[in-house]
Amino acid sequence: MKFNLVFRILLGLCSLLVIYSLFLPLWEIYLWAPQYPEGLSVQIWHNEVKGDVDVINGLNHYIGMKHIKTEMFPEFLYLKYIILGFVAFGLLVAIQGSLKFLKIFFTTTILGGIIAFADFYRWGYDYGHNLDPTAPIQVPGMAYQPPIIGYKDLLNFTALSMPASGGWIIISVGVISFIAILFHWFKSRKLNKVALLLLPILAITISSCSNSIPNINFGKDDCDFCKMKIMDKKFGIAFSTPKGRTFKFDDAHCYTAYLKEFPTEVAQTYVVCFDDPEKLIDSKTAFFASGQDIKSPMGGGVAFFKDKASSAKFFPNASAFGTYQEYVPQ
């Protein structure tokens, strides 16, 4: 049985694009700390490791971690051939068009991903646990294993591990295969119209997740500047960087002080709405009131509102009102 021609074409094109992953990083790990607000990064390619490797190795020396170098990854010797084999298999399935081969290809892709994650975990465990006992800095019971995927705090650093551009290309082949199988499953049950109706909903869901509003856990989260617990539910600011890192602050003073001391590229900012406690609103639509009457946690004297009328209602004697753009520090 053949699968849909459109998906055969997509699978063939995506399989060919996987060749470009040989010229792109497959995976990347970012590290942020107050002294490195822009972050440090390591990119894993099919045959080498690039990025801020020397800086990270210098930091790792103090806690006894091994130096990152290409020689510590024996997988680099044959990863190129695995990728080329993956391309050939994908093209064969696309040309032949057999649904049975497509399912075998998708299963093989999933198993390959599981093996890759297991290998990454094995390396990360050794890298983060096998420390030099004579290192200058030692924290009893502390391990520094990087996350397989997602965020993880390591002392004063936050690490993010995620696919890079080459990795996303490979992942796209697996996604196309899965959608093709799912489409055929719906079609065989005469539910293809339902599937087509669900696609826009899925796209909207993915889009909304990628632009989700950050959450401040009052009483649990620490301010990224003063390191105190964020307690007052009427105050707070959070912003994200282009790389997806989120910073949280208990009031405007800590927010402006952090940006002054650690200049950081800001992608999007959200502020706590004073008249709707705990709720964060997009700074682009926010209004502020500033004055001595506003008792914010760290003396910033600034509160944010949904509109100017609300800010004037709560603090009629404030010394300044305006939009967030008029408030934001230059």
Check residue 210 and give its pLDDT.
Answer: 47
For residues 252 and 285, is the Cβ–Cβ distance under 8 A?
no
pLDDT band (50, 70, 90) for residue 167: very high
Long-range CB contacts (within 8 A, 24+) of 193-197: none
**Beta sheet of 157-163, edge-to-edge order:** 49-51, 36-44, 27-33, 157-163, 150-154
Q: What is the CA angle 198-200-206, rounded to 5? A: 100
φ, ψ (nearest 5 deg) of residue 58: -65, -40
Q: How many CA atoms lie within 13 A of 61 on its CB side?
A: 7
Check residue 249 and give its pLDDT.
Answer: 92
- Secondary structure, 3-state, 198-229: HHHHHHHHHHHHHCCCCCCCCCCCECCCCCCE
Grouping H, G, I as helix, E, B as strand and the rest as coil, residue 299 is coil
For residues 236 and 230, is the Cβ–Cβ distance under 8 A?
yes
Check residue 330 and give its pLDDT.
Answer: 44
What is the C-alpha end-to-end distance of the chain, expressed in Å?
Answer: 63
Check residue 190 and give its pLDDT.
Answer: 54
For residues 321 and 288, is the Cβ–Cβ distance under 8 A?
yes
Check residue 209 and give its pLDDT.
Answer: 47
For residues 213 and 252, is the Cβ–Cβ distance under 8 A?
no
Task: Count CB atoms within 10 A of the CB of residue 250.
Answer: 29
Highest mean pLDDT among 164-168, 209-213, 284-288: 164-168
Report the mean per-residue pLDDT for the chain: 85
Question: Residue 118: is its pLDDT beyond 60?
Answer: yes
Over range 111-130, report the average pLDDT: 90
Over range 222-248, report the average pLDDT: 88
Task: Count CB atoms within 10 A of the CB of residue 319.
Answer: 12
The beta strand positions in the chain, using DSSP E, are 27-33, 36-44, 49-51, 150-154, 157-163, 237-240, 246-249, 268-272, 280-282, 287-290, 302-305, 320-323
Check residue 112 and give its pLDDT.
Answer: 93
For residues 234 and 276, is the Cβ–Cβ distance under 8 A?
no
Check residue 183 and give its pLDDT.
Answer: 85
Q: DSSP string covering 245-260, please?
A: -EEEESSHHHHHHHHH
CA distance 111 to 99: 18
> What is the per-residue pLDDT across 185-213, written as a single tens digit (0 to 9) for each?
877 665 555 555 555 555 554 454 445 67
Check residue 168 and give its pLDDT.
Answer: 93
> What is the per-residue pLDDT across 208-226, written as a single tens digit (0 to 9) for each?
444 567 888 888 889 988 8
Four-CA torsion 196, 198, 203, 207, nearest 10 degrees: 170
Put simply, whether the predicted model's pTM sits higher than 0.75 gets the answer no
Over range 290-303, report the average pLDDT: 86
Lowest mean pLDDT among 26-30, 129-133, 248-252: 129-133
> What is the per-residue pLDDT across 254-270, written as a single tens digit (0 to 9) for each?
998 888 888 888 888 99
CA distance 151 to 21: 24
Check residue 192 and give its pLDDT.
Answer: 52
